Structure 1
């Protein structure tokens, strides 16, 4: 009996050991496939082998021993990608996570450095993916920065560091490069190198400049974008240490930083497309040549304990939004993150409108995507329900079920409906998908020091914005949506904004107030359209340095502003052109409670809490 027990115990132990071995086999270490840290060598091929093995054996985790890993574009796989609100085209992808399921990538706080025109991560048709514990940066940023050493009428004198290589070409035009040319003495080799560097100039083209405050590391007070194109006239001064650029609109303070905005959005950091249940934890995105994270047509996305923040020696992080979500469903969670110094918004959550381009018969239309950065975006399938929208007013007047959808080109799709559509539908109106609008939870984030706005919130699902800190040059929160330029579907239906701190936001040119509406509604329809509805703003602290609008609204119904603290500060010069904290036009059921607390103002409470205008819809 004793021997039988011993045998049973031994067999059970061996069985459990084999299970552990099998489980351990599900974890892949990239160093086993040749990835070498801290050497500057290219880890791309080793990573691809690890990804192939992970898919083959159904691995649940890929790990990187802590260190620096470098990835170069020469060995990266390429693929044609249509990424909403970024530029379409052939993308070279370092982490091509296509059709992966139940996979975690853990960097163990490693640094991932990308060299050249790369998209670091693309998740496509994947599910239950976790990215954890690493940072993303590029050896050469896609924008450029310079110290302002001198200023005069129509010119600025600039000093560039080695991080931002440039040349002044034969025509006297400033061009930025991937690297400075260094001759090897071998004629053909040097010719090829010059040609490669010249071709790479496309990646670093600029379209406008913006002044940043050197000390505060943020856009300069009341600074504006100066549109220059990619051909600024330039010359070298003082033996080449200083570059003088010329443009009639140039003006800035000596000692500040001039940022050259990247012309293209070709290289976002993390792309999530047609995927579900994706989580990013403790990820730092120092830079990307586009958006930090862009998710499209995906379900349940969480970004937690992560950062978009510039690396040492730069004042700008990503060249566009920190995060962006298009036609997403389920839950979008942004929890305890830092979004700073990006060249656009911290987030934008919206759908897509497509315009009616041609009516073929009473059940068939052709729709056309309007903005070039939406071309190729597929969002309509059989059995989908589409809302029918009057373009100039953004009023939804009907819906229709799709029987068949056929793409004609990257811009045009032919739609056949199940039944004849509403007779009011006409060319120039728009359609958008009626879907499980995302439930948005934004809690515990810090948004600061960026160009433009904080958050563009346009999901029709329940939205909660709680315990965040905002210090933005433009509007901290913007309700947008339009069918005349970006063609972004918006119109909130249930949003609560509570217990946040808004500190000296809207100190520059982007927006019309700390919390504002900028929906694309033609003036003649603002009295009848009610695009944004059911907004509660309570328990927040607004620190303001003048009487610029805290709320600037139009075409809104059902808004409550209560139990907030409004505190006067002196951190920026007061702008005399503003004289009302509340501008409310063409809106209904707006409550600005007397229980809001005001501190530091000379005017009376009733005077400050009274909206400047208030118009009701015509009967």
Structure 2
């Protein structure tokens, strides 16, 4: 009996030890070998399956070299799982199909580290227009891009191959199209690709263009996730977004999306996109370069009130995709009036939610809401967002688009973003929100941003998509930063519906010297102090102006403290760009 009891104790201790230590699953033990030009997909998937099902604290380990992947990988229900290579420049996962690489769901604590991801074929091609008609373009493809045949093209943008960025200025354009039916790319002659187009509006002979194929999958994506870390990972391209999660707790450290080997684009869409994230998002020592849309996008979703049963039972309908309604019991929703968008009038806690149609659910709340049909609701439990030593450069759209309630961006570089470097703006067109609050932008560098296809009114743009009569984006601190405006950058700072905006200790170098520093629309309590302004041609005669278009009314901006003396300091740039990011100038 004592022997049996002792064996039982030994077994329990052993199991506990395994639970603490976990196991290492070498993909080579599943016949996934690097550098052999053989499909490694099934072997890697089997290693992932075993690691996820074995228990906690397991590691899936790749050796140095290139793994050929002819499909993506799925991981469900793991706890404290690590996927690790030998380093970003040592282990490469090379995708050979237009699909995502990792789809993860129901994961509690995961690390993906020390590897890179690329695709062959690419999700785009690029070159110079040699012929343009109303039904097609002929493009001389520039290596390393390829004249891919039998592809459907969904978007075409003009490119600047000298600056290695999407085009800027008066002929910056991008055309989105539903590809013409039964009309794929064909080869006209050696290296000349014929691209069917739905219409001819912008294209000119000699234009450098990037043509993006129909998007099909994110590189690393997932939902129902807790405590995810992406560390020391490089993504060279992807068929849609690089990194997109619905997650509670995210660390992104030493993560890079950038073009490889002379390519004109990295990913087809966003570098990072996090919808309805919770708890925290930390992004450190990372970069997003050359992607086909935003560098970083953080937001929740607006749901429309479509049916009212009583003051605590409402049907909410979504307009993005159905799973975004799965917000969870205990979540707080903020309600805004359909007549006055973005102005919250109530917050309520979800008790239960049940299906009520493909894109609708019945929500029961712990407290009554005086809602009306046509009002909107958005998750109020937004994450704390902390961004440090981050670079956004040469992308098609905004550097970062942030719709959360506690945000810090510091010691970061925004270089030649096509649209605003930083945008705070909820949107009922995209059904994304809520409006941002409690933001610190400190010790950042902005170089020649907001000059291209996605141009707005400001390098830093506070601008909801539907202008309200009152401030809805509030408590924004813009401090100790360097603005080096390009020729087409417009205003350094736009405040539409901003409240409590402070502009202090910044350095503004204005290549386009005729524009003021700040443009206002329906904003209140905007102040500035101790800023330096340098013009390359003359003294700026006006530092502040008021927008007068659309819903903007100068009489709705008040409590403004923006004297000329707030822009008459004479210090050097407080921060400068270096090869390593941003360096603080200590005078």
User: 1:64 maps to what in 2?
Assistant: 62
1:422-441 matches, within 5 Å, as 422=370, 425-435=371-381, 437-441=382-386
Q: For residues 217 and 162 of structure 1, do their structure 2 counterparts lie closer, same or farther at Cα, with a shift above 3 Å needed? A: closer
State which of 523, 533, 553 in structure 2 corresponds to 1:598. Answer: 533
Evaluate the alpha carbon distance shift between residue 540 and residue 239 of structure 1 in structure 2; reply closer, same or farther with a 3 A threshold: closer
Q: CA deviation at 1:514?
A: 0.5
- Coordinate RMSD, CA, aligned: 3.0
SS at 1:550's partner residue?
strand
Q: How does 1:403-422 map to 2 (within 5 A)?
A: 403-422=351-370
Q: Which residue of 2 aligns with 1:84?
A: none
For the structure 1 residues 262 and 361, does the alpha-carbon distance in structure 2 shift closer, same or farther, using more than 3 Å as the test?
farther
- Deviation of 1:239 (Å): 7.2
Rounded to whole Å, the distance in 2 between the matches of 1:506 and 1:521 is: 20
User: Relative to 1, partners in 2 of residues 1:235 and 1:119: Cα closer, same or farther, differing over 3 Å?
Assistant: closer
| Equivalent residue, structure 1, for 2:578 | none
Per-residue Cα deviation, 1:258-300 (whole angstroms, up to 9, x for no partner): 1123443x3101113221221111111111121110011x122
What SS does the aligned partner of 2:42 have?
Answer: helix
Taking a change above 3 Å as real, the CA distance of residues 512 and 44 of structure 1, as seen in their structure-2 partners, is same
Q: 1:562 aligns with which of 466, 482, 504?
A: 504
Q: 1:25 to 1:124 in 2, by over 3 A?
A: closer
CA distance in 2, matches of 1:554, 1:57: 52
CA spacing shift, 1:25–1:302, aligned 2, 3 Å? closer
The alpha-carbon deviation at position 434 of structure 1 amounts to 2.6
Residue number in structure 2 paired with 1:616: 556
The count of residues paired between Structure 1 and Structure 2 equals: 527
By how many angstroms is 1:218 displaced? Answer: 0.7
Matched, 1:534 2:470: no
Evaluate the alpha carbon distance shift between residue 311 and residue 467 of structure 1 in structure 2; reply closer, same or farther with a 3 A threshold. closer
Structure with the greater alpha carbon radius of gyration: 1
Verify the 8 A CA contact 2:257 2:287 in the aligned structure 1: yes
Mapped to 2, the partners of 1:239 and 1:277 lie a distance apart of: 50
User: Residue 316 of structure 1: SS of its match in structure 2?
Assistant: coil
Q: CA deviation at 1:475?
A: 0.6
The aligned runs of 1:355-366 (5 Å cut-off) are 355-366=304-315
Question: Secondary structure of the residue that 1:405 maps to in structure 2?
Answer: strand
Q: Deviations over 1:483-531 (max 9, x none)?
A: 2x21111212111111111001011131222011231225xxx223x21
In the superposition, relative to structure 1, how do residues 49 and 562 fare at CA in structure 2: closer, same or farther (>3 Å)?
same
In structure 2, the residue corresponding to 1:147 is in which secondary structure?
A: strand
Residue deviations 1:538-564 (CA, integer Å, cap 9, x gap)? 111100134711111111110111111
Which residue is 2:240 aligned to?
290
**1:50 counterpart SS class:** helix
Q: CA deviation at 1:421?
A: 2.3
Alignment of 1:512 with 2:457, yes or no, is yes
Question: In the alignment, is residue 544 of structure 1 matched against residue 478 of structure 2?
Answer: no
Q: Is residue 94–residue 117 contact of structure 2 (8 Å, CA) maintained in 1?
A: yes
1:20-31 to 2 correspondences below 5 Å? 26-31=23-28
1:38/1:554 Cα in 2 relative to 1: closer, same or farther (>3 Å)? same
2:186 and 2:407 map into 1 onto residues whose CA distance is 55
Match of 2:584 in 1: none
CA–CA distance in 2 between the matches of 1:600 and 1:162?
40
Q: CA deviation at 1:417?
A: 2.9
Ranges in structure 1 where 5+ consecutive residues have no aligned partner: 1-17, 74-92, 168-174, 177-204
1:244-255 correspondence runs (5 A): 247-252=199-204, 254=206
**Cα shift at 1:59:** 4.9
CA displacement at 1:21 relative to structure 2: 11
- Greater mean alpha carbon deviation, residues 155-164 or residues 455-464: 155-164
Using the TM superposition, give the Cα deviation of residue 604 of structure 1 relative to its aligned residue in structure 2, in angstroms: 3.3
Q: Alpha-carbon deviation of 1:234?
A: 8.2
Partner residue in 1 for 2:94: 113
Alignment of 1:235-384 (within 5 A): 241=192, 243=194, 247-252=199-204, 254=206, 257-264=208-215, 266-296=216-246, 298-371=247-320, 374-384=321-331
Structure 1 residues 5-44: aligned runs within 5 Å? 26-44=23-41
Whether the 8 Å CA contact 2:449–2:486 is kept in 1: the answer is no
Q: Give the TM-score normalised by structure 1.
A: 0.78
Report the CA distance between 1:163 and its aligned residue. Answer: 5.1
2:443 touches 2:481 (CA, 8 Å); kept in 1?
A: yes
- Normalised by the length of structure 2, the TM-score is 0.82
Q: What is residue 498 of structure 1 aligned with on the other side?
A: 442
The partner residue of 1:213 within 143, 160, 168 is 160
Higher mean C-alpha displacement, 151-160 vs 278-287? 151-160
